[in-house]
Amino acid sequence: MDLATLLGFLLGTGFLIYGMMSGGGSLSSFWSMSSIAVTIGGGIASTILAFTMDDLKKIGRLLPIIFSKKDESPYQTIQMLVEMSQKARREGLLALESGQEDLKNDYLKKALELVVDGVEPEIIRDSMQLELDNMGIRHNKGIAFFKTLAAEFPAWGMIGTLLGLINLLKSLDDPSKIGPAMSLALVTTFYGSVLSNWVCLPIATKLQQSSEEEIRIKEMMIEGVLSIQSGENPRIMEHKLKTFLSPEQREAYERLVAGEETNPEKNRAG
């Protein structure tokens, strides 16, 4: 599980409960089924209206991305492409076909298949970029889903507040009804703000970052595969691929490479 996601949820829960309990408050004061029905039910209903059923069926696949940590490392990707480049220069492009079964990344495997089949570089780039663009569109739909929820929950919270105020004004002559009406008026806004700012917007941001990282690594793969096809020097290709890394990541990559070069026994054991 991604530690940052878990830490964010735990800290948010702790601070929220502390705020509810401070000043002699109680958790029961913030519980209202009618407020939940209006805010959560209304927000979900409006979001469903904005998407198709096919889009909604795919949303469940995004949840593992939120709570899991990406195993794909840009450092390992660069090292793998450099090793493939060295192998191709020694044994030829057809030698790459023997190692394709061990590749876990289908995108890289497909690009190498095109190279081995002798497809023109421009066609390979266009084909792989088109697949990348379509993947970005699919990712954006999931991000848009949670952004829509983030907009709808506060809106329905305000609707609940208006409903509560209307009921409050209608029951001014009956003191026993003032409390429930005021609770609906205030708690719905509370629910909407919490769900939007603590749940939906952070999830949308995390999905956005995950999508950008995946696209960056796949773009790196495209450049690496085309460099291998053109017979480019592995060191030049490595330098080109390092431009996809931030300055901090480049330093980490250099330390990783230097550590492996100074520990050949450890490298062979891995």
For 173-230, the pLDDT digits (tens) are 777 777 777 777 888 999 999 999 999 999 999 999 989 999 999 999 999 999 999 9
Please name which of 195, 132, 137, 188 lies closest in space to residue 160, comparing C-alpha atoms.
188
Q: Which residues contact 172 (CB under 8 A, 6 or more apart)?
A: 178
Q: Tokens 């495997």 map to which residue?
A: 109
Among 87-96, 146-155, 259-268, where is mean pLDDT lowest? 259-268
- Residues 183 and 32 sit within 8 Å (Cβ to Cβ): yes
pTM exceeds 0.75 for this model: yes
pLDDT tens-place string over residues 152-178: 999 999 999 998 888 888 877 777 777
How far from chain centre, in Å, is Cα 250? 23
Both tokens assigned to 31:
């519980």
> Which residue matches tokens 């408050």?
25
SS3 75: helix
Give the side-chain half-sphere CA count within 13 A for 99: 16
- When pLDDT is cut at 50, 70 and 90, the band that residue 70 belongs to is low
